[in-house]
Amino acid sequence: MKIRIITAVLLVACVSTARAATDEPIQPIQLVKEINLAKADLGKQLFFDGRLSRSGILSCATCHNLAQAGVDNLQYSVGDRWKLDDINTPTVYNSSLNFVQFWDGRASDLQAQAGGPIGNPVEMGGFTHVIVTDVLKTMPGYVTEFNEVYGTNDISFDEVTGAIAEFEKTLKTPNGRFDHWLRGDKNAIDAQELAGYQLFKSIGCSACHNGEGVGGNSFQKLGVFAPYKTNNPAEGRYDVTKKDKDRMTFKVPMLRNVALTYPYFHDGAARTLHDAVETMGRIQLGRKLTPKENGEIVAFLKTLTGEFPSIVLPQLPAGSDATPLSQPFAGTPEAHHFQ
C-alpha cells in the first residue's frame, strides 16, 4: 500500500475580490493553511470514535456536534453515565483562532485541549493515556494509519491528540455575510445590521470581540460594572493561577456563528442572543440597552454565521477480538480495560 501524500495547501478563494476593510476591528476569516491531509483524516476518525471513551460510545463529536454548529445546545453537556459537565461547551468550529483553549485558558493549543475531555471522568470517562493507546493498538486499521502518518508501528497519546488537532484546524467557517461586507460588498448586510455593527463598535463591544474570530484572543473579567450572578462554581483563570486578580476572568468567547451556539456564557445561563446582549451591556459596559439597540446588535451578530465545511462521516477501523466491547454503564475504568 503506497503512502499517501500527506501535505497539501488549502487555498480558499474570497468570493469578493474587493479590498478588505483593513481599518475595521474585525477581519474576514482566512483559510490559507498548510494541512497534513492524512493526519487530518486520521484525526477525523478519532474525533468521531467513541472507543476513545470509557463507555465506548462517547466521542469528541458527542458534545461538539458538527451538524449543530459544533455544540450540543445544552446548558451543560451530558457525559459518562449521564453525568453533567460543569461548564458550557464552546463550539469547535474556528477553535484554531483561539489564543488558548478552554474557558480558563488552561490548554495552550488545540492538541493540549484534545486530551482534556478524554481524561475527564465526567466527560469521556477518564481513560488514561495508556488505556487509549492500548485500545487503538487492537485495531489493525488504526495501526496501519498511524504508521502511514507518523512512520511508527507504535501509537502514542501525543500522536492521537496531534491528529485530532490537525482535523480541528480544518473546521473553519468563512464567507459569512459580514465577511462579504468587510471585503467590499456593501449590499451584504442591511441597514439594521449595519447600525448594529456601528453600535457594537461605538459602545465598546469590539474592544474585546475583534479579530478573525470576533473574540477568542484575550482574557477579560466577567462583571466590570456589576457582578455576574451565577450558581456555577467556575472562576475562570483563577482556577488555574489561584491569583485574586484572575477571579471571574475568562477567555473572551468568539462570536462567529454565535446565533447557532446557544445557550451563552460559561454557565449557559443566557438562553437567547437578546438575553446575552442585554447582560453584557449591563455588566460589562454599564449600559442599559433599549429594545431597538438590542435588536440592532442581535441583527449584526447573525451576519457572523459563515459557511460550514461539508463533513463526510468517516468509516472507522474495525475492532479485533482483542478490542474491548462498549460498556456504557461499566462501574469502574478497570472493568473496561483488558489485560
Pairing of strands 219-221, 32-36: unpaired
Which one is catalytic: 24, 123, 159, 193? 123
In the chain, which ranges are continuous DSSP H helix? 37-48, 60-63, 110-119, 129-137, 140-150, 157-168, 177-182, 191-202, 238-241, 273-284, 291-302, 333-336
Spatial distance between the Cα atoms of 263 and 266, rounded to a whole number of angstroms: 9
Distances in Å between the alpha carbon of 157 and those of 141, 236, 246? 17, 27, 31
Give catalytic status of residue 123 as yes or no: yes
33 forms beta bridges with 10
Q: What is the DSSP letter of 303?
A: T
Residue identified by cell 465577511 is 179
Say how far apart CA 24 and CA 104 lie, in whole Å. 28
Residues belonging to the active site: 123
